[in-house]
């Protein structure tokens, strides 16, 4: 990611927009028993396009904002989202995946990671109440809804961040390399 005032402004706008939409619209009601969670999707999308360093910084900032706005234990969301951003960023850097539907899988995995690890952290901190088995169903539905919402969130995030991305993975993939005109005769024109 090209670090500069533009990138910071875009990132801040994205995080604030995601937070406000989540708290004011999506957090109010569930769908089929689960709830739509935009927070891990946005962090995963930024990490996916901008890499692990930007991913963990975004995760920390998003978590900090969530904890501030919601009034829950400060640092808990930051810790989980930092790890989530780093993980997704590293996945992209190491594997360099190319399938256009991959955001769906990444979104589902990111939502699953967020709900499971946040539950674990909450358990370790101050949850002393009885847990209903229904919470598992809620988690599964939240992951499915996350997968459904992943594609538009990833597309929107990419569009917003594109001017600040050092490498746009889809752009480089789409641009075909010219056929080889030198080298061994058998390899010419085969893009080897």
Partner 1 sequence: MFDKKVIRRRRAALAIFVALSVALLTAYFGESGGGFLHAIQRGAQEALAPIETGASRALKPVRDLFGWFGDTIDAKDENERLKREVERLRSEVARSETARRDARELRGLVGLQREEGFPQGTRPVTARVIARSPTVWFSSVKIDKGSNDGVRLDQPVIASGGLAGKITSVSAGTAQVTLLTDASSAVSAQVMPEGANGIVKPEVGNPRDLLLDFVEKGRRVTEGTTVVTSGFTSSRVESLFPRGIPIGTVTEVDLDEIELYQRVHIKPFADLRRLDWLQVLTARGRPAETAGVLAP
Taking CB under 8 A as the criterion, which residues in 108-147 touch partner 1?
A: 115, 118-119, 122, 125-136, 138
Helix, strand, or coil (residue 142) = helix
Q: Out of 43, 45, 56, 153, name the contact with partner 1 by CB under 8 A.
A: 56
Residue whose C-alpha is closest to residue 18's, from 40, 48, 49, 47: 40
Task: Say how far apart CA 100 and CA 184 lie, in whole Å.
Answer: 34
Q: Is 52 in the site for partner 1 (CB under 8 A)?
A: yes
Task: Say how far apart CA 106 and CA 187 lie, in whole Å.
Answer: 36
> 45 with 157: CB under 8 angstroms?
yes
Beta carbons within 8 Å of 48's beta carbon, 6+ residues apart: 55, 88, 89, 92, 103, 106, 154
Q: Out of 2, 9, 12, 70, name the contact with partner 1 by CB under 8 A.
A: 70
Q: Is 63 in the site for partner 1 (CB under 8 A)?
A: yes
Task: Say how far apart CA 108 and CA 114 lie, in whole Å.
Answer: 10
Q: Out of 1, 11, 15, 22, name the contact with partner 1 by CB under 8 A.
A: 22
The CB-of-172 to partner 1 minimum distance in angstroms stands at 15
Q: Is 37 in the site for partner 1 (CB under 8 A)?
A: yes
Q: Out of 7, 21, 117, 144, name the contact with partner 1 by CB under 8 A.
A: 21
Q: Out of 8, 73, 166, 179, name the contact with partner 1 by CB under 8 A.
A: 73
Q: Is 29 in the site for partner 1 (CB under 8 A)?
A: yes
> 80 with 117: CB under 8 angstroms?
yes
Binding site for partner 1 (CB under 8 A): 20-32, 35-37, 39, 52-53, 56-57, 59-60, 63-64, 66-76, 78-79, 82-83, 86, 93-94, 115, 118-119, 122, 125-136, 138
């Amino acid at each position: 990611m090209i670090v500069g005032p533009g990138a910071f402004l875009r990132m801040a706008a994205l995080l604030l927009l995601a937070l406000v939409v989540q708290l004011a619209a999506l957090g109010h009601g569930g769908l089929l028993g689960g709830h739509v969670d935009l927070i891990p999707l946005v962090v995963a999308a930024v990490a996916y396009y901008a890499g692990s360093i930007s991913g963990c910084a975004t995760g920390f900032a998003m978590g900090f904002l969530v904890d501030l706005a919601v009034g829950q234990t400060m640092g808990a969301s930051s810790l989980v989202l930092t790890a989530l951003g780093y993980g997704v960023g590293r996945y992209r850097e190491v594997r360099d995946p190319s399938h256009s539907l991959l955001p769906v899988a990444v979104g589902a995995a990111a939502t699953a990671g967020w709900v499971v690890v946040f539950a674990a952290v909450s358990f370790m901190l101050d949850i002393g109440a009885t847990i209903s088995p229904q919470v598992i169903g809620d988690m599964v539905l939240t992951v499915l809804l996350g997968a459904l919402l992943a594609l538009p969130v990833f597309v929107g995030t990419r569009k917003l961040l594109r001017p600040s991305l050092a490498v746009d993975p889809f752009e480089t993939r789409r641009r075909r390399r010219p056929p080889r005109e030198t080298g061994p005769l058998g390899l010419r024109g085969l893009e080897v």
